[in-house]
Structure 1
Amino acid sequence: MAVAHYYCDTERSDNILVIRRMVTKEISHEDTDTAVEYGNQLRYSTSLVTQGNHRFYTLTMPSDVLAGCCFATNREEDPVAGFQRVLDSRRAQEIADYMDLGFGTIPSSIVLSAQPEANLQVIGRGKTIEYTYLPHSFLIIDGQHRVFGFAKANTKLRVPVVIYNGLTKQQESKLFIDVNTKQRPVPNELLLDIKKLADAENDEEALLRELFDAFSNDNDSPLIGLMSPASKAAGKLTRVTFNAAIKPILSSFATSSTSVMYPALRNYLKAFYRGLVGMDARSALVNPTVFRAIFEIFPDVAQRVVDRTGTSFLESDFASVLGGLFDKVKPARFKTPPRSPKELSGEMLKALKAGFVIG
């Protein structure tokens, strides 16, 4: 049976989607180029899936239709305007821009719970679902930012959807907790590690990767055996920590050549590590707070090396400048560092200034 749908155009005001009726026509419910009016009965082909004690329906739905009948806030709020108050508009816009590029794909399913207003029915020998299209037909259990992003996008597409029916509020809450705690995001360490394979690095990310790999593979590196490229590991530095420490000092170099930057950074870190060993705090080198603080003072130390000996940046040059620091900063500050790298780097800079003499 055909269902009356409505061709429409859309306008956006403060990111709120406004649907205006244009033409009425009977069309296939699977048409992705149309929108519908509230109160229409919509039908979609579906499959029933059973997992443990739960049963749910899987289907695809046009993104604009999906955005118009879902909510993630209380039932009295407008479904689209409500999104703006509880979700990150910037993140949603990034999703919209990604889809509008023309080659974006987000294949993971939006998880919904049918509400009483939807009057969800299974018809056609269990192969079709029918529901009433209303602003609060479905509660979003998972995928709020994707739905909001799809609503903001100019591109319309089919979206995979999972629909639970007949859940109590308690069951909806438990499902929300399960979905949002059992599914863990991919670690940032792994994402950074595979960006090169995906050809998705910018120039700065490529430089940081090359420096990380140099520290990880060079037998003369003080970090040899102490780096974990794709995951967190106790007593080892990850790419996330490494990048956070090194990125701010890249501008200290007039070149982006790894062959120039790495020897200077390596010799600086070797000199600093020598100082930590001297105060029996060698394990502090890979403490994230200490590691970031070490490189926060690098520009000041490097400048003093240049003033004294030029740009050779030998380990002994750095050790000469750092010597006074280790005389004045107590070992406990490295063994049990403060939570803030800036607090520790501030103490180290103060120690450097106190020990600085001309001549």
Structure 2
Amino acid sequence: MTAIKAPYFEVAQGKRTFYLTQLSAKIVVKISYAAVRGQDDEEGAIQRVLNTSRISGIKAFTLAGGDYPNAIVLNWVSAKNRLKRTAKDISFNSEEFSAQIIDGQHRVAGIRAAIEERKSIGDLQLPVVIYNGLTTKECADIFLSINEEQKPAPRSLVFDLFGLASSELVDPAAVRARDIALSLNDDAESPYNGEIKLPGGKMRKGGIALSTAVVAIKPLVEDKGSFEQIGLTNLEDQRRVILNLFLALQGKYGNKWDEKDNAFLWAAGFAAALQFLHLKLMSYCSGKQSFEQSTIADAIALGADNLIRQTDIKGLGGGKAVAEVYDRLLDAFRPVQKKAGKFKI
């Protein structure tokens, strides 16, 4: 058992007071735990079950040297390991189950996993907020104030900042998807020239948010994704395939492409088109050894009588709208098949 002493600031906010301090990562993971609502029968149990995929991501982020400027928020609950304080320091013993985690359980779990792989991570200094003896209601109030009232940054801004951040701290697939989305926005040939909505841009109806574009493109470009499976791994080839898809669709609409009732100028249509590329056109075009605009256009029977319009999906929720546009594309899919040969089975 190790005695820990750390300087602190006492902060009063409304009816509650907390201590703001810094502790090493190895101490934080030792003394803290998550009390899960519905599973743990104790005061202060407000956490959800851990998401293992998030933990692996945080572990990788930590090992890559990621920063943790936001405080881990704890509720000190141990009766035998009491939190002591003087005018300058707080002190306690390094004992397990001393403090519940109010906010930051995935960060703590990811950092713990990183320490198991690289012991020196344990010396990482973390900002920590410590409340003392809160009730379940108080823990819930604080959790909600952090996770509901203090909204995270818009996803479009996050994806936009990927172009500035250190390479080891960003998602390579999201960076590639962002590069393609920006190319669609900047290329004079692109049907989406000026139609990708970037952070800081003027608010308007229609257009495709950068976050929507990145999320839609990412399954195609990620590690072991659709493009890699057929050997298209460089940026220019991937960009051109996606551009050819939208040029083929634009050709079906002709001078009606720029009309606001064109479903593909809205988020659901954009996402559905890329889902169609991912699930149908990728294998079809690969089999024909051609991703040319003409190959794609020949396989999609859209014309004046069956163009997909925004009014057709008005009132549908995001997922349902995407599914409706995808189904309409599927109905229009007319693959030009070669004469069947013998298959090896």
- TM beyond 0.5: yes
Instruction: Find the residue that maps to 1:295 and give its secondary structure.
Output: helix
The TM-score with structure 2 as length reference comes to: 0.70
Gaps of 5+ in 1: 6-35
Q: Which amino acid aligns with 1:235?
A: G
Question: Contact 1:301 / 1:321 at 8 angstroms: preserved in 2?
Answer: no
Distance in 1 (alpha carbons) for counterparts of 2:136 and 2:101: 13
Instruction: Find the residue that maps to 2:211 and give its secondary structure.
Output: helix
Question: Contact 1:222 / 1:269 at 8 angstroms: preserved in 2?
Answer: no
Instruction: Find the residue that maps to 1:163 and give its secondary structure.
Output: strand
Distance in 1 (alpha carbons) for counterparts of 2:60 and 2:307: 50
Distance in 2 (alpha carbons) for counterparts of 1:168 and 1:242: 43
Q: 1:226 aligned to 2:195?
A: yes
Gaps of 5+ in 2: 222-226, 339-345
Q: 1:195 aligned to 2:162?
A: yes
Q: Structure 1's 47 and 352: CA in aligned 2 closer, same or farther, altered over 3 A?
A: closer
Q: 1:293 aligned to 2:272?
A: yes
Instruction: Find the residue that maps to 2:69 and give its secondary structure.
Output: coil
Q: Which amino acid aligns with 1:156?
A: G
Question: Contact 2:19 / 2:130 at 8 angstroms: preserved in 1?
Answer: yes
Q: CA RMSD in A?
A: 4.2
Distance in 1 (alpha carbons) for counterparts of 2:63 and 2:291: 49
Kindly provide the CA deviation profile for residues 16-35 of structure 1, in whole angstroms up to 9, marking residues without a partner as x.
xxxxxxxxxxxxxxxxxxxx
Listed as ranges, the matches of 1:1-359 within 5 Å are 5=1, 36=2, 42-73=4-35, 86-101=49-64, 103-115=65-77, 117=79, 118-123=81-86, 126-152=87-113, 153-154=115-116, 155-157=121-123, 158-200=125-167, 204-230=173-199, 234-247=205-218, 251=227, 254=232, 256-257=235-236, 260-261=240-241, 264-274=244-254, 282-298=261-277, 300=281, 313=293, 322=300, 324=302, 326-328=304-306, 331=309, 333-335=312-314, 339=320, 341-353=322-334
Distance in 2 (alpha carbons) for counterparts of 1:217 and 1:284: 21
Question: Contact 2:250 / 2:257 at 8 angstroms: preserved in 1?
Answer: no
Instruction: Find the residue that maps to 1:160 and give its secondary structure.
Output: strand
Query: Aligned residue pairs: how many?
Result: 308
Distance in 2 (alpha carbons) for counterparts of 1:166 and 1:85: 20
Q: Structure 1's 212 and 151: CA in aligned 2 closer, same or farther, altered over 3 A?
A: closer
The TM-score with structure 1 as length reference comes to: 0.68
Deviation at 1:275, TM superposition (A): 8.1
Distance in 2 (alpha carbons) for counterparts of 1:44 and 1:183: 28
Structure showing greater radius of gyration is 1
Q: Structure 1's 42 and 302: CA in aligned 2 closer, same or farther, altered over 3 A?
A: closer
Instruction: Find the residue that maps to 1:177 and give its secondary structure.
Output: helix
Structure with the largest fraction of strand: 1
Distance in 1 (alpha carbons) for counterparts of 2:112 and 2:216: 38
Deviation at 1:344, TM superposition (A): 3.4
Question: Contact 2:36 / 2:49 at 8 angstroms: preserved in 1?
Answer: no
Q: Quick one: percent identity of the two aligned structures?
A: 24
Deviation at 1:237, TM superposition (A): 0.7
Point out which structure has higher relative CO (alpha carbons under 8 A, 6+ apart).
2
